[in-house]
Structure formats: C-alpha cells, structure tokens
C-alpha cells in the first residue's frame, strides 16, 4: 500500500563519512540531499508513493538486488542504499563504499553493505517489541539518536545489538546539547558507578621450524593489549604500565591507539628492523590515555624471543605405498606447562583417504578425521614431567577422490605439522601489567582486573626429509 501518513523521521548523518565518500569519487560524487528529498526518492524507489509503471524502475530487464537499491535524486543516483520495510516502518542506510563508484563494484565486495544491514537489523530488533504500543514506540524512536551515538559513534558500527545498550541509556549524553567541550569524540557516553579497568595481554606466536642445518628456523611474537575502562568523567586520565621481568624480551614496533596522549621516545625507537643493541628498550612501557567508552586495543607490539615455546621435529618418508612418519615435540622449560588445549595436526595432501593406520605414541591420543586425510594428535592440557613427547606411525592410502585435499606447495614428501595451543595467564615475553602502577586521575580507587594469554598462530613444523618453503626473517609478517 502507498504511504499516506509520516508518523516520524529518525535519522543520523555522519559528515566525516560523507567527506570520505567525496574523496573516493571526486567530481562524480553524489551528495546526500536534504531529508525530505531523500525520503521522497526512497519511497518512490520502494514503490510506496507511485505505483504506476515507471520504465527505469519497473522494467523486467532491471536486475533485482533488494535490499540494496539505487535511489534516483536530482543530482544523480545514490548507491548502495540498504533499505527494507517491516510492519509499516522503513529502515534504511547509505553505507560508505571505500573505492570509486564508477564503474560500480560488485555488491559482495562492499563490506559496508552487510555492516549496514546488521545495524538496521539491530534497530529493528530494538523497535519491534514496542510496535503495538504507539506511546512506547514513540519513546523508543526518540532514544534511537542517543543509542546510535554509542553503537555507531563515528560512522562505523561498533555494537549492533541496541537492546544491550538500552540498559545504559541514562548514562548516554547527546553531544548536541549536553556534552562537555573537553570530552573527546571517542568517549560517546559518561559512565556512572564504581570505576573498573580490565586489561588483557594477548600474545600470538608465529613459527616456522625446518630442522635443517642450512635453513634457519624463524619465530616471532605479536602482542595486543586490550582495555575496557568504566570510569566516571568526561575525560578521565589513566596511565597504564607494561612491565617485563629481568630476563624478559624487549617489546618493539609499537602501534598505539589514538587516545594515547604521549609516548616515551625510547618506545618509538624500539624497532625490529634495527638490529643494533641501542634500539632495545626493556621498559617499563607507560601509556597515558583518555579511554574510549568501549573496549579497545590500547597498543600492539612485536618481540623476538630467544626460543620458541615448543621445539619440534617432523620426518616423513615414503616407502612403496606407505608413508612412515616420526614426530618429536619438546616444551621449553621456561614455558608454563598448563594449556587450555594443545594439539598437533598432520594433514596429508594430494593423496587418497587413509585406509590403514599403525602408530605408537608416548603421550596423549591420536584421532583420524572424518575425511580420513588428517591425523589429530591431542596432547591435552599438560606435557609430561620430561617435557618431551613422541609419535611414530605408518599410513596407507586408498585411491584419490573428489574430496581429496590438494595443495600446490605440499607435493610429494613436502609436508608439515601444525600446532594449535593456548596457555592462559602466561606471555612468552614475560610482559605483564603491574596493578599497583595503574594510575587513575579521578575520584575513587578503581578495581583492576588483568589477564594474559599465549596463543599459537601459524605454528608450522616442516618435514625435514623434504624441501620446504623458506620464510626469511625480514619477510616474516
């Protein structure tokens, strides 16, 4: 049915996003018109105001891409407009396309479209329960603008579940009338309550081991410090310090969040590219900052630790129709022997399904995947007291099938073992947060929770009996 009455119009513009769109498209940019002009064009495109046949809109040769539309206005076509109608309400947004629009890129290549649809769905879920009560519906629509300040502060959706934000509605301030001029743009609401600071140091270790004299093994740690600060005030000042033990590995290549107000020059000079001893800075690493309202990554870093957490050897030999394999793994004595999980996976590419398996292991258990092309060695939550484990075995394969896993690198005996593990309350660099060094320049003593973890990421041990791809240190990213 056609639209006869407009009950209300709730919208939000993001000028910074519009500037970016103009930068991408230059002279071909189509500016978003005034609200009434956009609404009129959108209703027309959705066939809600004029149901007569219109050639460019209604021709059967036009490809239907709903809920993504091209809305025709006086200055040109606005695309892509994401819109849909639900229970007499229309939900619409114009996502940013981070590239030129001429020619139009494929819809599936535009990340803003699913993000916009997700946000609109979140608004729908927030509005829908009140649809039958006009007073409640009007109140919820009135709250939308303030909720969007928190869910999508600068044009990028950070939280699409608006119902989860509704409980903190009283804490949200509309910048247009109530905001403190000293409050930074990234603080989208003012917290009320006891101060809490949560910090998590998450380190990922990448590794390539070859067990060959003429090829150097390479490994590196990549760390991220994530914070969530629930603190009163428009612009509270917090200082957080990362510390290393005496034998800790220096942190390098810092990238910090824009909320950090200053940084020690020694931290900026600490680079993995410069191998001289002068670039090594062992901290403490201090970060004064004004925290955003949401969870954020305070900083990221790299570190070159002296040894990888698990040293391994993988040998694979082909004897007739069989493959014989040997695996030795050793946990370094400096590593905490307490895992959430730890397992080694041995894939067999370009071969048929495993029809026969014989093996002997010193620890854990060995499973064969459902596709019968992958061996999973479940090590569990601890290495034995010796910190060394081994696995030997023989596998026989049947004929190849369509489900046979293939790989252009792992041809012949070129193969690898991949490790997956997580160690809670541990970092390979030794990096930790000293709770007594956290300073909060506002009333009240904060409750501080800190956690650490080490996670494997692309942790490979290659078959030492065959050639393998070599990853040089300078290219290890």
Nearest 5°: the CA angle 230, 233, 235 is 95
Helices marked H in 157-214: 162-165
DSSP 463: B
CA distance 362 to 457: 25
- What pTM did the predictor assign? 0.64
Rounded to a whole number of angstroms, the CA Rg of the chain reads 29
- How many of the other CB atoms lie within 10 Å of CB of 431? 24
CA distance 126 to 89: 13
CB neighbour list of residue 179: distance below 8 Å, 6 or more residues apart: 173, 234
pLDDT one digit per residue (tens) for the chain, 477 residues: 344 445 556 777 888 888 889 999 888 899 999 888 899 999 988 888 877 887 778 777 778 888 999 999 998 999 999 999 887 789 999 999 988 898 889 988 898 898 899 899 888 888 887 766 777 777 788 788 778 877 887 888 887 888 777 544 444 444 444 445 567 877 766 778 888 999 999 999 999 999 998 889 999 999 999 999 998 888 889 999 999 998 888 999 999 998 998 888 778 777 776 655 555 788 789 999 999 888 899 999 999 999 999 999 999 998 877 999 999 999 999 999 999 999 999 999 999 999 999 999 999 999 999 889 999 999 999 999 999 999 999 999 999 888 888 998 898 899 999 999 999 999 999 999 988 888 888 777 889 999 999 999 999 999 999 988 875 543 344
Residue with tokens 């519009």: 18
By CB atoms closer than 10 A (0-12, 13-18, 19+), residue 320 is: exposed
By CB atoms closer than 10 A (0-12, 13-18, 19+), residue 212 is: middle
Domain 310-425: which CATH class? mainly beta
CA distance 229 to 187: 11
Q: According to CATH, where is 2.60.40.1170 located in the chain?
A: 310-425
CA distance 105 to 108: 9
Sheet holding 76-86, edge to edge: 68-73, 76-86, 89-93
* Inter-residue contact 353 to 372 (CB < 8 Å): yes
What are 434's two structure tokens?
């000293």
Distances (CA, A) of 226 to 4, 199, 200: 50, 6, 5
**How many residues are there in the chain?**
477
């Amino acid at each position: 049915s056609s639209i006869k009455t407009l009950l209300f119009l709730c919208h939000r513009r993001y000028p910074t996003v519009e500037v970016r769109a103009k930068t991408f498209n230059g002279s071909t940019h189509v500016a978003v018109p005034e609200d009434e002009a956009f609404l009129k064009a959108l209703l027309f495109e959705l066939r809600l105001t004029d149901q007569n046949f219109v050639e460019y809109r209604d021709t059967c040769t036009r490809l239907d891409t709903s809920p993504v539309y091209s809305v025709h206005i006086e200055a040109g076509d606005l695309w892509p407009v994401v819109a849909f109608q639900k229970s007499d309400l229309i939900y619409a947004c114009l996502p940013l396309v981070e590239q030129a629009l001429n020619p139009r890129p494929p819809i599936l290549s535009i990340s803003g479209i699913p993000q916009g649809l997700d946000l609109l769905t979140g608004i729908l879920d927030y509005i829908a329960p009140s649809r039958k009560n006009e007073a409640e519906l009007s109140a919820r629509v009135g709250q939308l603008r303030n909720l969007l300040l928190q869910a999508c502060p600068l044009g990028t959706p950070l939280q699409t579940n608006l119902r989860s934000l509704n409980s903190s509605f009283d804490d949200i301030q509309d910048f247009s009338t109530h905001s403190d001029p000293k409050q930074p743009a990234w603080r989208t609401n003012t917290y009320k309550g006891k101060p809490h600071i949560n910090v998590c140091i998450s380190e990922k270790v990448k590794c390539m081991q070859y067990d060959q004299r003429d090829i150097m093994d390479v490994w590196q740690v990549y760390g991220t410090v994530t914070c969530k600060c629930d603190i009163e005030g428009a612009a509270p000042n917090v200082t957080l310090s990362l510390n290393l033990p005496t034998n800790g590995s220096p942190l390098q290549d810092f990238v910090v969040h824009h909320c950090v107000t200053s940084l020690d020059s020694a931290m900026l000079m600490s680079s993995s590219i410069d191998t001289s001893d002068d670039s090594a800075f062992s901290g403490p690493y201090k970060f004064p900052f004004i925290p955003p309202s949401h969870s954020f990554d305070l900083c990221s870093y790299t570190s070159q630790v002296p040894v990888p957490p698990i040293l391994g050897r993988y040998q694979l030999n082909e004897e007739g129709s069989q493959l014989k394999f040997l695996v030795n793994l050793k946990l370094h004595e400096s590593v905490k022997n307490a895992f959430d999980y730890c397992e080694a996976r041995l894939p067999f590419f370009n071969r048929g399904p495993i029809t026969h398996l014989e093996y002997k292991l010193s620890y854990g258990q060995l499973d064969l995947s459902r596709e019968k092309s992958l061996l999973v060695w479940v090590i569990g939550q601890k290495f034995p007291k010796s910190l060394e484990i081994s696995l030997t075995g023989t596998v026989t394969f049947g004929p190849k099938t369509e489900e046979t896993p293939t790989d252009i690198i792992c041809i012949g005996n070129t193969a690898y073992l991949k490790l997956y593990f997580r160690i809670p309350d541990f970092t390979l660099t030794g990096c930790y947060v000293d709770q007594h060094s956290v300073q909060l320049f506002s009333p009240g003593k904060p409750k501080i929770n800190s956690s650490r973890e080490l996670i494997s990421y692309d942790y490979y041990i290659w078959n030492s009996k065959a050639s393998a791809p070599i990853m040089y240190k300078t290219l290890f990213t």
